[in-house]
Amino acid sequence: MKARARAALAAALACVFRPAVAIDTTRHDVQSFAAEVASRHHLDRTWILELLAQAEFNDAIIDAMNRPAEKVRPWFEYEKSFVTDKRIREGRDFYAAHKATFDDAAHKSGVPGTLLVAILGIESSYGRIVGPFREIDALTTLAFDYPERAPYFRGQLEQFLLLVRDAHIDPLAAMGSYGGAMGAPQFMPGNVRRFAIDADGDGKIDLYGNWNDIAASVANFLIAHGWQAGEPLYAKAMVADPDREGLENGLALNTTVGELAEQGVTIDRHMPPATPALFIALREPEEPSYRVGFHNFWVLTRYNRSAMYALAVCELAEAIAAGGPPQPTAAAHTP
């Protein structure tokens, strides 16, 4: 990029985002947070405030929170971004390099190794991109400068402080996403504390570079949310009357295969009529396409509350297992 272009870009960004500024620890909400967390967990209130004083607010974090890809992009664009030939090729190479580790996790958990790999591919490009923000900055910004979800992020900031205490994490060096997700699996701090596993017994949990810990932790998350080994994920669907009332997107298993059939929805695999299901309509360039998700698909949406996310994971896992891009006519949706 030429010097003039770089200067213009910097000027434009400066107009959009305020410079990062240190948190004001004299604020009442910051003081209250520090006192409450210190009291609940026998932490030093002064230590909490000294740490928070080293955090910086970042407008880029707020901006990213307000326009996540799952909400602002149609499926056909989302799919092209996440299920790419490059990501498939890298996924195959990654799986080949770590096959024993992920197959062992699959054997112990019942979660296919290719699915575990695909989650890492979507979340962090197989551990290469864990986020450009310091955890302390992202969580502090959202805890005290994002009123819409401040209670949630104050809880995650609290969990991060406990990780710092218990797992001896450097609070100023840990990096993550704009939303505070950590490591190759992009776990939020609370999920690190609940689901992360020391799989190789070395006395510590490393979600940034220890693939034994990473694979086992992702599998443990899915198991804890009800993963059923060997069960299918989803089916492609045809809809007789797309305008029929009652066919609505959702992330709850609030219908069955039989009920959907009564509404004119046919799927490309045989499932018992009583099978719990959720209906998915996807925006395409011309006409919508449709999927029907089953229980394990719903489990994937616990990782990220988006049907598009879960479907991208499924397609990437299929492609890694098949050795190429997803085939439009494929009917086997159990990676």
pLDDT, tens digit (0-9, with 9 covering 90-100), for 30-42: 999 999 999 999 9
Q: Where are the domains of the chain?
A: 234-307
Segment among 19-28, 40-49, 182-191 with least mean pLDDT: 19-28
Residue 260 and residue 241: Cα distance in Å, rounded?
A: 12
Judge whether 238 and 265 are in contact, CB under 8 Å.
yes
Judge whether 52 and 23 are in contact, CB under 8 Å.
yes
- For the 234-307 domain, the top CATH level (class) is mainly alpha
Q: Chain-wide mean pLDDT for the chain? A: 90
Q: What is the pLDDT of residues 55-64, one digit of tens each?
A: 999 999 999 9
Q: Are strands 265-267 and 255-256 parallel, antiparallel or unpaired?
A: unpaired
Q: What is the dihedral of CA 268, 117, 221, 198, to 10 degrees?
A: 160
Q: Does residue 74 register a pLDDT over 60?
A: yes
Q: In this structure, what are the phi and psi dihedrals at residue 176, rounded to the nearest 5 degrees? A: -160, -170
Judge whether 168 and 136 are in contact, CB under 8 Å.
no
Q: Are strands 234-239 and 265-267 parallel, antiparallel or unpaired?
A: antiparallel
Residue 146 and residue 144: Cα distance in Å, rounded?
A: 6
Q: Does residue 8 register a pLDDT over 50?
A: no
Beta bridge partners of 269: none
Active-site annotation holds for 135: no
What pLDDT sits at residue 244? Answer: 79
What pLDDT sits at residue 250? Answer: 86
Q: Does residue 10 register a pLDDT over 70?
A: no
What pLDDT sits at residue 57? Answer: 93
CA-wise closest residue to 237 among 295, 277, 285: 277
Q: Does residue 14 register a pLDDT over 60?
A: no
Average pLDDT over residues 283-287: 93
Q: Which of 50, 56, 123, 315 is catalytic?
A: 123
Judge whether 58 and 141 are in contact, CB under 8 Å.
yes
Residue 168 and residue 174: Cα distance in Å, rounded?
A: 11
Q: What is the pTM of this model?
A: 0.88
209-222 residues labelled b (16+ CB within 10 A) or e (exposed) = ebbbbbbbbbbbbb
Judge whether 252 and 278 are in contact, CB under 8 Å.
yes
What pLDDT sits at residue 70? Answer: 64
Q: Which amino acid is at 70?
A: E
Q: Does residue 326 register a pLDDT over 50?
A: no
What pLDDT sits at residue 190? Answer: 98
Q: What is the pLDDT of residues 263-272, one digit of tens each?
A: 999 999 999 9
- Tell me which of 328 and 84 has the higher pLDDT: 84
